[in-house]
Structures are given as C-alpha cells and as structure tokens.
Amino acid sequence: MIKLRRKAAPNFGRRKLGAALGAAVAAGGFLAACGSSSASSTSGSTTTSKPIVIGISLPLSGDFSADGLAFKQGYEIWADYVNSHGGLLGRQVQLKIISDNSDPAQAQTDYQQLITVDHADLVFGPFSTLLTIPAAKVANRYGYAMIEGAGGGPSAFALGLNNLFDVSAPVANALVPAAKWLASLPVGQRPKTAAYPTSNDPFTEPQVLIAKKIMEAAGIKTVYFNVFGSEVTDFTPIASAVAASNADVVILGSVDVPTVSAFIQDFAQQHYNPKALVATGGPDQGSQFIAAVGAANANGVMVPNTWYPGASAPGSNAMVSTYIKKFGGTVSNVSADVAEAYSVGQVAAQAVTHVGSLNQKAIIQYLHSGVTLTSVQGPVKFDNLGENTAAAIYGFQWVNGTFKQVLPLSDPNSSGLLYPKPNWGA
C-alpha cells in the first residue's frame, strides 16, 4: 500500500470527458435496466446458479494505468481463487470491470452504470483517493458498501460516509517503524544528519513530517527539508541538493517508481552513499522497481509496506500461486497493488459469507461491528470511519535481490537488515 496515488502531473495524458447522449447508442441496455435498481441488494435470498456480479471501475489508462492494471490482476486472481474453491455463497463470482481512464467524472458515471444498469451485487473500489471519493458517494447513494484497498487519503474519511471501508493501513504512521529504529540505534551507529525531500502529495508529506519529528527528538539533525510539487518531472536539481547536504540518511517522500529511480540515479552519479534510504512508495512495486533502478542499485533501499512476497499471512501463498498460474513470472512480479486488491476481495468474501446474503445493509453493519477479519496484508478491523485500525505496517528492504521484512526488529518475521546500506551498484 502506502503508494496510494501516483503523481498527479499537469499533462496531456488522454482523459475521457464526461459523455454524451450515448444514451441513444446503448438505449437498449439502459432501458431494460430502468426501474429495478434495488433488485440486486436482495437477490441473495433467491440463491440460484446465477453468478454474483462484482462491479469495479479501474484506471486502465491515463495517470494511474500502471496501478490500475496491477489492481485488475489482483481482483482477477481473487475471483479465480474463489471460483475454483466453491465460489461465494455457492455461486460463482463474475467481475464486471470498466475503465475510468483516471478520471473522477468517469468513475462517477461508471459506478452508476455498474449499480443501475449492470445490477452489480457488490462493488469494489477503484485505485486512488481521487477516484474513490466520487465512487463512494455514488455507492452510498444506493446503499452499497464500498470496500477498497487504495483510497485511504484523509479526505476520503473526512466525508464521514458509513459505507466506505479501506482494507489497507492508514498512511500517516507508515514511516514510524523506520524512524523509531533509526532513532534507537546506538550512538556510534546512529545517523547524525538526515535529509527529507518530499512530494507535496497528501500521502507522503504527513508521513515524512511524523518521521522527521521522531528523528529530530533523538538528536538527528535535519540538514535538508524541502517539499517539491507533485507535478515536478525533473528531479536532478533536488537530488543534487540532497547529495550536496551529505546527510547520513535520506527519507524520501515519493509516490511512484520514476521519482525514486531518478533520485537513486542521481545519488549514484554523485557518489553519494547515505547509510539508509527510506522511500514512502516505489520500492514496493516488485519487479517494476527493479526494472527501473537495476538490481544492484536497489540493494539496501527501504520502504514501509504491509505485504511482501514471503509473507505468511492467510491466503498469501494461494494468492501468489494463483498469480503465477494466471500471469506467469515469479513471486517478485506480485506487487503491493496486487495484494491490496486481493485483500479487498478477501474481506468482502468474509463479510458476505458471515451475513449469508448480499444484503448491503447487513454487510455494512457487520464490517462496522468491530470484528477482526483476515487478509494477505494482515488483520483487518474497521473503526467507525472505515479505517483499518488493526493493520500493522512493517519496514521492508531490498536485500541482495529479495524484498524482505526487516522492521520492526522485535517482530519474529524480521531479519537480515542491511545497515549501513551498501554503496550504489554493490
């Protein structure tokens, strides 16, 4: 998780504009659908062999296309797994996925289509807070639960919608394990100085500020702190300035792979080797990250995360093997995005199974009941805003080509932390 939203750059990336009297084009389908929009929420009682339709809108093109595709894979392998294990309530699940092109207006149209025309029995979330907010508002209007895995920005919960549930961990405290660990190192090893370049993104800046506070309290001096616009495309001046500060450790508030990759490339070129580099997002994207920075430069880079390829959480092995069976590749192709989407499916399945029907009201009530559910990302327990309070965030590191859990040190699954970080290319 953590990387909830990719760069929101000013751009000419294609984007869908609302729409037209496409009504005429699709009138048949729409008309057939009119007037029975409430049917789906009660259809659980009439159990038939009809599949359960799950409506999802995803950004399959535009700014978030890389994440959108990973989410699609996550949802698909969850559906495959469920269908090959008896289905849900004895029925097969069928995903109805349409693209919103990273456009909130299209996401809003899409969920109306999914609920009122396709009569989806359940709806799952899109990717990013930007798309989740209009989606959750539409779902709320129709009394649907909106279970999602990457829409946990503060503004989403600020709406006070009772149908919104984010299965991933809240972001603000994500850097705490890494910051606490650095602060608690013995004096000889403890870094003396730190640099904090961060994007002005709502998901990176708060994390970085909390980490900065913890580390400053431990006497680690801040030698560089700067916020760059989320639309910045050329990171060379910023990275060079960080390198020139010669800080012992770098906490990088990044949202995507290209940002981290640009910083690492410049650090390597400047022969600047901090003792630790912790990025808020990017290194968690598995093989995509390695493809961009190269395996040698990845060594020792850290990132907060909730899932990793060696995780032992319930369903993790099943998810990985289903993924490899469907898409090929190896375990490292499974990114954090895939796990987030898969967790959405897992949580929804537990709720539906417990309730015994597709009654949305009952599902929402159950998810708010304080029950603890399981997911590949760990335990899930919702507070009244729909934030996952049980989620634990760990520190991860690339160690000689594998992505390992290393923090907190007290956790039995943590091991093999590399500190100080090996030099670039080593």
Partner 1 sequence: MSNFLRAVIDGVLTGSVYALMAAGLTLIFGVMEVINIAQGILVVLGAYLSYVLSVHLGIDLFAGLIITIPVMFVLGVGIQWGLMRRLGEREKVSMSILVTYAVAIILEGVLDLIFGPGYLQLTAWYVNQSIHVFGFYLPYIYVFGFILAVGLLGSLYFILYRTEFGRSLRASQQNKTAARLIGIDVNRVAAITFGIGVAVTAAGGMVFGATTAFNSNSSADLISRLLTIVILGGMGSIGGAMGASVLMLVIEAIVSTYWSPTWATLVFYMVLVLVLVVRPAGLFGQKAVRAQ
Partner 2 sequence: MSALTKTFKSMSKAKLAAVVVAIAVIAVFPLVFTNPTVTEIAIFALMFMATSSAWNGFAGSSGYFSLGHAIFFGVGAYAFTIIANDFKMAPTSALFFLMPVAGVFAMVAAVGVGAVALRTKRHTFVVITIGIFFIFQLLGFNLNVTGGASGLQVPTPSNWNAATFNNPFYYAAAILLGFTVLLYWIIKRSAFGLQLLSIRDDEERARGLGVPVWRVKLSAFVVSAFPVGMAGALFAYLIGQIYPQTVFNPLFDLSWALMTLVGGIGTIVGPLLGGVVLESIQQYLNLYLSNVDIYLIIYGVVFLAVMFWMPRGIVPTVVGAVKRRRGTPTGPTSIATSDDKQPAKPDQTAGLIVTAKGATE
Residues at the contact surface with partner 1, assessed by CB under 8 A: 9-14, 61-63, 65-66, 68-69, 200, 226-229, 231-234, 236-238, 240-241, 244, 257-258, 261-262, 265-266, 268-271, 288, 291-294, 297, 424-425
CB of 59 to partner 2, least distance (A): 10
Tokens for 113?
Answer: 């289509």
Would you say 358 and 271 are in contact if contact means Cβ atoms under 8 Å apart? no
CA 63 to CA 59: how far, in whole Å? 8
412 binds, among partner 1, partner 2, none (CB under 5 to 8 A by kind): none
The partner in contact with residue 293, picked from partner 2, partner 1, none with C-beta cut-offs of 5 to 8 angstroms by kind, is partner 1
Contact (Cβ atoms closer than 8 angstroms) between residue 58 and residue 71: yes
The closest of 155, 113, 219 to 5, measured between CA atoms, is 155
Is residue 73 a contact point for partner 2 (CB under 8 A)? no
Footprint on residues 83-102 left by partner 2 (CB under 8 A): 97-99, 101
Which range binds partner 2 by CB under 8 A, 74-82, 154-162, 284-292, 351-359? Answer: 154-162
| Min separation Cβ 210 and partner 2, Å | 17
326 near partner 2 (CB under 8 A): no
Residues 50-70: b if buried by 16+ CB within 10 A, e if exposed? ebbbbbbbbbbbbbbbbbbbb
Q: Does 385 bind partner 2 (CB under 8 A)?
A: no
Residue among 38, 54, 46 nearest 348 (CA):
54
Q: Rounded CA gap, 194 and 247, in Å?
A: 5
Closer Cβ to partner 1, 297 or 377, answer by number: 297
Separation CA 4–CA 105 (nearest Å):
19
Alpha-carbon distances, residue 397 vs 250, 279, 299, 300, 312 (angstroms) = 14, 10, 8, 6, 17
364 is a site residue for partner 2 (CB under 8 A)? no
Which partner, partner 1, partner 2, none, binds residue 103 by CB below 5 to 8 Å per kind? partner 2
Q: Which of 43, 73, 113, 322 binds partner 2 (CB under 8 A)?
A: 113
Strand partners, 198: 227, 253
Beta carbon nearer to partner 2, 112 or 374: 112
User: How far from each other are the two terminal CA atoms of the chain, in whole angstroms?
Assistant: 28
The one-letter code for the residue type at 261 is S
**Closest CB to partner 1 among residues 334, 393:** 334
25 touches, from partner 2, partner 1, none (C-beta below 5 to 8 Å by class): partner 2
Number of H helices and E strands in the chain, helices first, is 15, 12
Amino acid letter for position 166? D
Q: Among partner 1, partner 2, none, what binds residue 261 when CB lies within 5 to 8 Å by partner kind?
A: partner 1
Chosen from partner 1, partner 2, none, partner binding at 266 (C-beta under 5 to 8 Å by type) = partner 1
Binding site for partner 2 (CB under 8 A): 8-27, 30-31, 33-35, 37, 60-61, 63, 65, 97-99, 101, 103-106, 108-110, 112-113, 116-117, 130, 133-134, 137, 141-142, 153-155, 158-159, 199-202, 229-231
